[in-house]
Amino acid sequence: MFGFFKRQPPAVAPAPLAEAPPRGDALVEAVLMSGVVLPPYPAVLAELDHLLAEEDFELPRLVDLVGRDPSLRAALLRVANSPVFGPRQPVSGLLQAITVLGLARARSVLVSAALRDALRDYGDPMLVRALWARFSAIGNLAASLASHSATLRQQADLAYTTGMFHGTGAFILAKRFPGETRVLAHAGRNFEDELQRLGAELGSDPARISAMVARNWHLPAEVAEAIARQRLGPQAIAESDTSGKLVCLLHLAIGRFDDGEAAPDWRHDAEMLGLDGDALDEILATQGAAE
């Protein structure tokens, strides 16, 4: 059904992304019927959403919720102490970490940490480690780019989440086709091309699968839309919408991560984000030092 995982000859290209895929539970159910296992939305995140929806919730309740899960606690402290935020003194407590990050970024970090736990067994351990090393670095780089962007400065949390979730389709493919996807662990700077080659060979579209995970995990609509549109060229991206800017941001982050430089069309992407070459070089240098 829907042909997401119908095997095709290698020459067949993935379905174009010009039109957004269908939304909602019907699509998720159709994919599940084809044998794909999407990671379930964790109960701790549902509890977090319920807490943050309250108008007058108290931060100690959030601290208590996060403190119950060692991996979530560690993720918040790790990000709060990263050079990106440049704390003058080490952050040792959850309340301080949430204050440094802000609620929006803190939630993005918690969602990404929960996703990491949920996808722990989605493939060979070496491949899972390689995928997370890649997506974590791209998420951090996307957040750094956004913090310097004239148009996305206030939405660095969306940028971070987009970078972290944009490749989750690779985990789903690894779960479904463990033998064929093992090559991704060693793809290096050719990762994007290799993933698209595998998608074509396996009759799937990794970007659309990643977008389904994003929607299933209740990510903002702009993030899910950007992830679905990540393979679009600059001519197909509307300059005025947030998802289009997130696509441009993702292009820059991936290009900088893979090649140490921007993609060939980086000037268009940078202009949409209010960035210049010097700013990109500075961000790349800072990111390299952080890693």
- 222-253 residue pLDDT tens: 999 999 999 887 665 665 688 888 998 898 88
2 inside domain:
no
User: Amino acid identity of 264?
Assistant: P
Kindly tell me if the per-residue pLDDT of 14 is higher than 90: no
Residue 243 CA to residue 229 CA, distance in Å, equals 8
Contacts of 88 (CB under 8 A, 6+ apart): none
Q: Which comes out higher in pLDDT, residue 199 or 25? A: 199
In this structure, the answer to whether residues 161 and 278 fall within a common structural domain is yes
Same-domain pairing of 163 and 194:
yes
72 with 201, same domain: the answer is no
Of the candidates 157, 37, 70, 164, the one whose C-alpha atom is nearest the C-alpha of residue 112 is 164
141 and 257 Cβ atoms separated by less than 8 Å: yes
pLDDT score recorded for residue 87: 63
Q: What is the DSSP-derived secondary structure letter of residue 138?
A: H
Note whether 102 and 88 are within 8 A (CB). no
Across 9-38, average pLDDT: 47
Q: How many domains does the chain have?
A: 2
Check whether residue 162 and residue 28 sit in a common domain: yes
The reported pLDDT for the residue numbered 25 is 46
In a domain, 209, yes or no: yes
**Whether 161 and 261 share a structural domain:** yes
User: CB of 213 within 8 A of CB of 111?
Assistant: no
Q: Is residue 269 part of a domain?
A: yes
Query: What's the token pair of residue 150?
Result: 């004239």
Whether residues 137 and 103 fall in one domain: no
CB contact at 8 A, 252 and 287: no
**Lowest-pLDDT range of 40-49, 90-99, 150-159, 227-236:** 227-236
pLDDT value of residue 83: 73
Express each pLDDT in 59-95 by its tens digit. Answer: 999 999 999 999 999 999 998 888 766 667 788 899 9
pLDDT at position 277 is: 63
For residues 222 and 242, the answer to whether their CB atoms sit within 8 Å is: yes
Q: How far apart are the first and last CA of the chain?
A: 42
119, 137, 115: which is closest to 127 by C-alpha?
119
> Are 197 and 256 part of one and the same domain?
yes
* pLDDT tens per residue, range 100-152: 888 888 999 999 999 999 999 998 999 999 999 999 999 988 988 888 888 88
In this prediction, residue 133 carries a pLDDT of 93
Same domain, 152 and 257: yes
pLDDT at residue 287 tops 60: no
Q: Is residue 15 part of a domain?
A: no
Rounded CA gap, 47 and 53, in Å?
Answer: 10
Exposure string of 41-67, with b = 16+ CB inside 10 Å and e = fewer, is bbebbeebeeeeeeeeeeeeebbebbe
Residue 227: which CATH number? 1.10.3210.10
- Do 261 and 178 belong together in one domain? yes
What are the backbone angles phi and psi of residue 103, rounded to the nearest 5°? -65, -40
pLDDT of 262 above 70: no
Are 140 and 96 members of one domain? Answer: no
pLDDT at 10: 38
Nearest to 254 by CA among 196, 214, 198: 196
Under 8 Å between Cβ of 166 and 135: yes
When pLDDT is cut at 50, 70 and 90, the band that residue 7 belongs to is very low
Cβ distance 108 to 116 under 8 Å?
no
Q: Assess whether 281 and 139 both reside in one domain.
A: yes
Residue 130 lies in a domain: yes
Residue 206 shares a structural domain with residue 135? yes
> What Cα–Cα distance (Å) separates residue 165 from each residue in 89, 92, 138, 230?
30, 27, 10, 11
Q: Greater confidence, 105 or 11?
A: 105
Percent of the chain with pLDDT over 70: 75
Residue 160 has pLDDT above 70, yes or no: yes
pLDDT number for residue 181: 93
Q: Which residue has the tokens 């992304």?
A: 17
- Domain termination residue (choose one: 83, 118, 153): 118
Q: What pLDDT does 33 receive?
A: 54
Please indicate whether residue 74 or residue 282 has the higher confidence score (pLDDT).
74
Helical pair 191-202 and 168-176, crossing angle rounded to 10 deg: 50
259 CB neighbour count, 10 Å cutoff: 10
Give residue 278's domain range: 23-37+121-291
- On whether residue 177 sits in a domain, the answer given is yes
The domain boundary residue, chosen from 97, 118, 139: 118
Mean of the per-residue pLDDT values of the chain: 80
Report the pLDDT value the prediction gives residue 26, as an integer from 0 to 100. Answer: 53
Segments of the chain assigned E as strands: none
Do residues 168 and 184 make contact, with C-beta atoms less than 8 angstroms apart?
no
Please check whether residue 241 is in contact with residue 43, taking contact to mean a CB–CB distance below 8 angstroms.
no
Q: Note whether residue 13 is domain-resident.
A: no
User: Looking at residue 51, what is its pLDDT?
Assistant: 92
Look at residue 19 in the predicted model and tell me its pLDDT: 36
Residue where a domain terminates, one of 100, 118, 136 = 118
Q: Is 262 domain-assigned?
A: yes
